Amino acid sequence: MKKAADVRKELQSMADPDKAAIPQRFFKTGPGEYGEGDVFIGVMVPQSRQVAKKFSQLPLGEVRTLLYSRIHEERLLALLILAWRYGTASSREKEDIVKFYLDHIKQVNNWDLVDLSAPNILGAHLVDRDNRQRRLLYRLTKSENVWERRIAILATYHFIRNGYFSDTLKIAEMLLQDRHDLMHKAAGWMLREVGKRDAAAEEAFLEKHCNVMPRMMLRYAIERLPENKRRRYKKKGRSIGGRYSQKNTSGTSATYVRSC
């Protein structure tokens, strides 16, 4: 049976200290920043995907070991394995994977970990479920943990891809007063994705809310609109985005300016 140690050995063989220095800065790993203490070893995402495919049947207990690692790429790999497995799993196995994901949701603790897992696990699981089960996303949207809020809006990316926009629009509305720029970017991105498929739905949201949308959310949402519409919404919008002082997920005071 394959073990987490086998995965770690494979990742370490791909590690590149020179490459590790870049994400160490990019993912805000310094004191007081949102990724404080995260450690990178310099394995690129395409390489991690190859390893995830190779170890796609790793037992959940071993996946858990990786998910609780202080090494970013090991946590990423654990989530890639879960997402890969979910796509081919039986109904019973899918239930187990989603329960595992939610039980250990605190370890999905950086924006790339959220973005690569939430749509493909939680979003895929809820897309055909009733409103009662989708309430989970609204509970996560109200969480004090920024990563749980991001999971909520990113999970709806799977809904968007399947032509369902209502939950995205409702959650984006709930996030209008969110004070974290990572959430402004995520919500704006999802609104833009809605607009690619239904311009009228996105523009109805903008008409109603652009005067109170955080600057970064509005900027991301209108990025693909024609220039004349972008100018119009920028003019109507009241800039309330930018620099915020708040508490990060570790509970220490931090200032967030242009994060990813």
Q: Where are the domains of the chain?
A: 1-89, 118-260
Mean pLDDT of 91-106: 97
pLDDT of 247: 40
Three-class HEC string of the chain: CCCHHHHHHHHHHHCCHHHHHHHHHHCCCCCCCCCCCCECCCCCHHHHHHHHHHCCCCCHHHHHHHHCCCEHHHHHHHHHHHHHHHHHCCHHHHHHHHHHHHHCHHHCCCHHHHHHHCHHHHHHHHCCCCHHHHHHHHHHHCCCCHHHHHHHHHHHHHHHHCCCCHHHHHHHHHHHHCCCHHHHHHHHHHHHHHHHHCHHHHHHHHHHHCCCCCHHHHHHHCCCCCHHHHHHHHHHCCCCCCCEEEECCCCCEEEECCCC
Domain 118-260 sits in CATH at: 1.25.10.90
Asked if the 1-89 domain carries CATH number 1.25.10.90, the reply is: yes
User: Of 35-39, 45-49, 93-97, 141-145, where does mean pLDDT reach its minimum?
Assistant: 35-39
Q: What is the mean pLDDT of residues 2-31?
A: 93
Whole-structure pTM value:
0.89
Domains 1-89 and 118-260 share a fold: yes
The pLDDT of residue 238 is 57
- pLDDT band of 191, cuts 50, 70, 90: very high
pLDDT tens, position by position, 127-172: 999 999 999 999 999 999 999 999 999 999 999 999 999 999 999 9
